[in-house]
A and B are shown apart, each in its own frame.
Chain A
């Protein structure tokens, strides 16, 4: 195995130009689990831990190398809540938001916030750069539209996202959990509401029908909240696996989304 410990972004992108498809390594909290289990045997690793440009975090542009530890202090409360519930102190000290996006697990806790915020994924190669809307980036289970010669350099969160924010997830314990359902709800003072969910579809998703319905309700009645939960449960596309059943996930998605909505009313 060949490992290149890039000292800067230009060097990292140059390495990827020469060796497209090399395995990017950030915090290692996803990659090393697969390596230790023998599921992955990378030939060529590009370590990003020392790249100073990836540590930059200015307003809505969050460098891909920013750790969950740092994001616990994020200005967006839903992002801070997500960061605080990810893994454990050990994991939050190592794992990065760019790694969460790059792994593109359906259960990625940070992704629910990014989907709700309509964040852009910033990518760079030695020759060009682009910003891709989140729903054009995540295309399947651990599948993205990142090219083999590209790196995720930052996540861009628009300034004008709703200020009332809630984040929550369902799992078997509060630390080190892979979510059974994860949800982020954002609501504006005028009622406009966004609902993003994870672990209930191949990619992070928005419950658009539920959003449309509840955005019209300035002061939702109990019946409206029930209808909102029903629409969320109808829109998700969960599967049954070793962590939970499709039926439970569908039910829990509606319950969780409703509870989070009630927090931001």
Chain B
């Protein structure tokens, strides 16, 4: 079947063959490789995207079930002029990427967190990022980056 999805503001259609996930369609069909494929069971968060505005693991979304939906991937968070998102900038400045594999998922989770709560405390940050695993264990610098964003944005 063909599904029609708005991805990063653009109307896209994709062929779905069976019960494959949105993640597979994003990466293999739509050639958006920013969302990473690691655990395929929702444990690691590296495939996080916004589906109709809600943060989800795209590996746990059946692609056939996305017809008519809106998806934002890490490729879609940059500014219209191509500048990177302030969350990405903050991670960069904090040196919060080691191998970088988990970074797109963290970017999406942090974007989603700050959207709902511009000034999260450390406990809020921990809870909001509990679904994202960094196998380099670089959590300290990731949390510091979010703290800086939380403190710097206008109150």
Binds B, one of A24-32, A150-158, A205-213: A24-32
User: What's the Cα separation between A174 and B48 when bound, in Å?
Assistant: 20
Assuming the contacts A45-B19, A90-B131, A91-B131, asked whether A28 and B60 have C-beta atoms less than 8 A apart, the reply is yes
Interface size class of B (residues with CB under 8 A): 20 to 34
- Is residue A163 within 8 Å, beta carbon to beta carbon, of the partner chain? no
Question: B62 contacts A35, CB within 8 Å?
Answer: yes
Residue from the list B1, B17, B19, B67 in contact with A35, Cβ < 8 A: B19
Task: Considering the complex, give the chain A residue whose CB is closest to the CB of B64.
Answer: A3
- Is residue A224 within 8 Å, beta carbon to beta carbon, of the partner chain? no
Interface string of B22-60 (1 = CB under 8 A from A): 000000000000000000111101001000001111011
User: What's the Cα separation between A89 and B40 when bound, in Å?
Assistant: 16
Residue from the list A37, A47, A93 in contact with B62, Cβ < 8 A: A47
Contacts of B40 in A (CB 8 A): 33, 36-37
Task: Considering the complex, give the chain A residue whose CB is closest to the CB of B61.
Answer: A28
- Is residue A88 within 8 Å, beta carbon to beta carbon, of the partner chain? yes
- Is residue B21 within 8 Å, beta carbon to beta carbon, of the partner chain? yes
Contacts of A93 in B (CB 8 A): 54-56
CB proximity of A32 to chain B, nearest CB, Å: 4
Which chain A residues numbered 77 to 95 have a C-beta less than 8 Å away from chain B? 87-91, 93-94
Interface size class of A (residues with CB under 8 A): 20 to 34
User: What's the Cα separation between A176 and B57 when bound, in Å?
Assistant: 13
The 10 closest A-B pairs by CB, nearest first: A88-B131, A175-B130, A3-B64, A36-B40, A32-B60, A93-B54, A1-B18, A90-B131, A33-B41, A47-B65
A sample of 16 more A-B contacts (CB under 8 A), given A3-B65, A25-B62, A89-B128, is A1-B19, A5-B65, A29-B60, A32-B21, A32-B60, A45-B64, A47-B65, A87-B131, A89-B112, A90-B109, A91-B42, A93-B54, A94-B54, A94-B57, A174-B130, A176-B42
What are 27 A-to-B residue pairs whose CB atoms are below 8 Å? A1-B18, A3-B62, A5-B68, A28-B60, A28-B62, A31-B62, A32-B19, A32-B60, A32-B62, A33-B60, A37-B40, A40-B19, A45-B19, A47-B64, A69-B54, A87-B42, A87-B131, A88-B131, A88-B132, A89-B55, A89-B127, A89-B128, A90-B45, A90-B55, A93-B55, A94-B56, A94-B61
**Which residue numbers of B lie inside 8 Å of A, CB to CB?**
1, 17-21, 40-43, 45, 48, 54-57, 59-62, 64-65, 67-68, 109, 112, 127-128, 130-132
**Which residue numbers of A lie inside 8 Å of B, CB to CB?**
1, 3, 5, 25, 27-29, 31-33, 35-37, 40-42, 45, 47, 49, 69, 87-91, 93-94, 174-176
